[in-house]
Amino acid sequence: MTDIRKPEPIPPNLWLELVQSGYQIHLDAGELLWTPGRPRLKATYIVVSGLMRLYYPTDKGSAVTILAIGSGGLLGYHPERRRSSYITGAEALFDTLLLSVSAEQVKAWLNGQAENQAAFAEWMIRDMDLHLVDTYTRLELEHTSARERVARVLLALDRQGILPFATRQQIAELANLTTETVVRTLSQLKREGVLTTTRFVQLSADEQQRLGELLAPFEPLTLPYS
């Protein structure tokens, strides 16, 4: 197990303990880890590689992306024991490798009853902060233009190193837009000189800056996690 590559955000000493106590789960693109309303699994999951999304079904039957979680991210944990079922669904947007760790192990770390407790708490707090910022942004972007939504998704995928492999449909799912709207928006961004190409390659520093300039500040909101 220790031969799998360590995600960057996880401290090395904690990573050794995680791989010794957990087990690997491989998900194909489009495969579900759980569905909304399913009884909560007795495990927490670390994304080793790939990209997961937490989504929420609407009354019309469509799925709204709440959160995208990449390498080094944490999902499946909830602080309330009474929360016996999942609010969201969890889907792999790309081929994804997860590391499953038992809820009892997580509980021991959080209660300071295990080695590397401090490292786990620091990593988890940092990861949850990133999730909350991403969630707040998504909620705020529901009231903004397609250009801003697409810009944020492109920047996020570029940071994860996944952009060259992303399809227009996957970008649409992450931005909560239709594929047709994403195609039109990418063409618009190219015409405006924000993007130099609509092919999915690593963004240049100039493209990153121009996309970033499209994003307005937002005020945080709140939303339950998973």
Q: What are 17-61's pLDDT values in tens digits?
A: 888 888 999 999 999 999 988 988 888 899 999 989 988 887 777
Q: Report how far residue 123's alpha carbon sits from residue 75's, in angstroms, rounded to the nearest whole number.
A: 13
Q: How would you write 134-151 as a 3-class SS string?
A: HHHHHHHHCCCCHHHHHH
Between residues 146 and 122, which one has the greater pLDDT? 146
Indicate the domain borders of the chain. 12-139, 144-213
Average pLDDT over residues 113-126: 72
Q: Report how far residue 176's alpha carbon sits from residue 66's, in angstroms, rounded to the nearest whole number.
A: 9
For the structural domain made of 144-213, what CATH number should be given? 1.10.10.10
Q: What are 70-106's pLDDT values in tens digits?
A: 888 888 876 555 567 888 899 998 999 999 998 778 7
In this predicted structure, the answer to whether residue 209 has a pLDDT above a threshold of 60 is yes
How long is the chain? 226
Q: Report how far residue 53's alpha carbon sits from residue 67's, in angstroms, rounded to the nearest whole number.
A: 6
Side chain identity, residue 189: L
Q: Which residues of 20-46 are buried (b: 16+ CB within 10 A; e: fewer)?
A: ebbeebebeeeeebbeeeeebeebbbb
Q: What is the pLDDT of residue 82?
A: 57
List the one residue out of 123, 108, 29, 122 whose CA is nearest residue 72. 123
In this predicted structure, the answer to whether residue 192 has a pLDDT above a threshold of 90 is yes
Q: What is the DSSP letter of 189?
A: H
Q: What is the pTM of this model?
A: 0.67
Percent of the chain predicted with pLDDT > 70? 81
Which residue is it, tokens 């998900």? 27
Q: Report how far residue 193's alpha carbon sits from residue 93's, in angstroms, rounded to the nearest whole number.
A: 29
CATH architecture for segment(s) 12-139 = Sandwich (2.60)
Between residues 165 and 52, which one has the greater pLDDT? 52
